[in-house]
Amino acid sequence: MKRILNIGLVLIFIFSFSTEAQNENPYKLISMIKGDIVDFAVDNLDNVYVLASTDQLKKYTSSGDSVAVFNNVKKFGKIATIDVSNPLKVLLYYKDFSTVVVLDRLLAVRNTIDLRQQNIFQVNAIGQSYDNNIWLYDEGDSKLKKIDDNGKLLLETADFRLLFSEAPLVKNICDQEGFVYLYDPHQSVFVFDYYGALRNKISISGWEDFKVAGKFIFGINDDTLHRYEINTFRVDDQKLPGPLKNSLKVNFTSSRLYALKKDLLEIYTLR
């Protein structure tokens, strides 16, 4: 399974590690979750959402208590995306059925959005918007769109085929500090404002994983963490510390580090 790096909003401490600190292992293992785990997500309250191979989703509190389970696993196929950027509103995207399922904080279904009913059939990436609506990239129309929880279209950009020589294949959408970032790993990062106007194009490509956090863009490949500072255009690279290497997936929040191994999720804090 492809590794994914999903970094929380406060990450600067990662780049404060010296070489000596990395060699001495700056992390302390505080807990583990064992079992059938193929993916996970962490919100900004350090709640952990664990996805099993059966597509069962479990929620654990920051103290490790299991508080909710989503078991409606047969209806829409495999979960392609878990968005927990708002702990009170969890988004599950089922690509094969072009369906978004909206859950509450206890993983009960609030509503279901069949994008096909909105004549939207080709979507690879979705993300929560600042105003609790949903961003998506419609590859059929080559447009960034914003919809509400009922699927109603609220906003759309111009056709990307008119804006660019080659329409992007968007893999990630991040809404951060007044801008929407669309990432095509084969091209670059496309930056739009909340009105759908193109503001910038950042020459980042080839990063396996992508996250915008504050004024930084993060990505990872070959056991190296990359950080791009949006205001200064500076790129910093750092080898991942030992606990992260060879992990199936790594996730950071402001206070913890999460590393997924085979059938095991390790949870660390800084020493």
Distance CA 3, CA 221 (A): 9
Please give the pLDDT value at position 2. 46
The burial class, CB within 10 Å (0-12 / 13-18 / 19+), for 245 is: exposed
Element (H, E) at 259: strand 256-261
Conformational region of residue 73, where left means phi above 0, alpha means psi within -120 to 50, and beta covers everything else: alpha
Please give the pLDDT value at position 265. 96
Distance CA 30, CA 224 (A): 24
Distance CA 10, CA 214 (A): 8
The tens place of each residue's pLDDT in the chain, 271 residues long, gives 444 555 444 444 455 444 444 445 677 889 999 999 999 999 989 999 999 999 999 999 999 999 999 997 778 889 999 999 899 999 999 999 999 999 999 999 999 999 999 999 999 999 999 999 999 999 999 999 999 999 999 999 999 999 898 889 999 999 999 999 999 999 999 999 999 999 999 999 998 778 888 888 888 787 787 889 999 999 988 887 777 788 888 877 777 888 899 999 999 987 7
Please give the pLDDT value at position 193. 96
What class does CATH assign to 5-270? mainly beta
Please give the pLDDT value at position 213. 80
